[in-house]
Chains A and B, each alone.
Chain A
Amino acid sequence: QKEVEQDPGPLSVPEGAIVSLNCTYSNSAFQYFMWYRQYSRKGPELLMYTYSSGNKEDGRFTAQVDKSSKYISLFIRDSQPSDSATYLCAMEANKLSFGAGTTVTVRA
């Protein structure tokens, strides 16, 4: 069993829809939770970083962490074609562990 599980998709939504992404994990030692966005043939860039259970908002993006269920989510409101990318979750104990990434396409 992988430490971090993420559905690879692909996920296709119309412009303006809410995109919902999630990851589950098995290691209770994970303390820090991140979401990265990766455009095709580019390096990942950090989108959101959270430490505690609960919600964190940044513009159209909301990251949610539920440590009791070992479940994290990323929501993208009012999605745009420029949001089309692969989204990677990552978690840190003494090193970063990544999910496989979910490929999202937002249709104009």
Chain B
Amino acid sequence: DGGITQSPKYLFRKEGQNVTLSCEQNLNHDAMYWYRQDPGQGLRLIYYSQIVNDFQKGDIAEGYSVSREKKESFPLTVTSAQKNPTAFYLCASSASRGRAETQYFGPGTRLLVL
């Protein structure tokens, strides 16, 4: 059963804390993405990776970091430098960048600040 999994479903962050969101895919896709979704603003790209050990900043990368050590995994860390982290975070993958018709989304992680 192929797809993308994200965990946890809900995550609570305290002030000054770094938190890591997990994203795993078994679709054998090369490209992976992280988006942030806020009410009324659509999806905004945080980071993307086209290949293992390589990743690029998206439109709103400040306060976030990623790694791509394995093809299947693309974790996102929300650092204490991100002052407004409350949002719905979506991970996605596609066969390759530029193949949007193959892009699948995970179920999302909702991050809340305590």
Contact with B along A68-106 (1 / 0, CB 8 A): 000000000000000000001010101110111100000
- In Å, the complex CA distance between A41 and B89 comes to 11
User: B42, B45, B105 — which one has the most chain A CB atoms within 10 A of its CB?
Assistant: B42
Q: How many residues of A contact B (CB 8 A)?
A: 23
Find the B residue at minimum CB distance from A36: B105
16 new A-B contacts, CB < 8 A, other than A88-B42, A100-B40, are A6-B42, A34-B100, A41-B108, A41-B110, A42-B107, A43-B4, A43-B90, A44-B43, A44-B90, A88-B43, A90-B43, A96-B43, A96-B100, A98-B43, A98-B44, A101-B42
18 A-B residue pairs with Cβ-Cβ distance under 8 Å, sorted by A, are A32-B101, A43-B6, A43-B92, A43-B108, A44-B43, A44-B105, A45-B105, A46-B101, A46-B103, A46-B104, A49-B100, A88-B43, A95-B58, A95-B97, A96-B103, A98-B44, A100-B40, A101-B42
Query: Which B residues are closer than 8 A to A by beta carbons?
Result: 4, 6, 40-45, 48, 58, 88, 90, 92, 97-98, 100-101, 103-108, 110
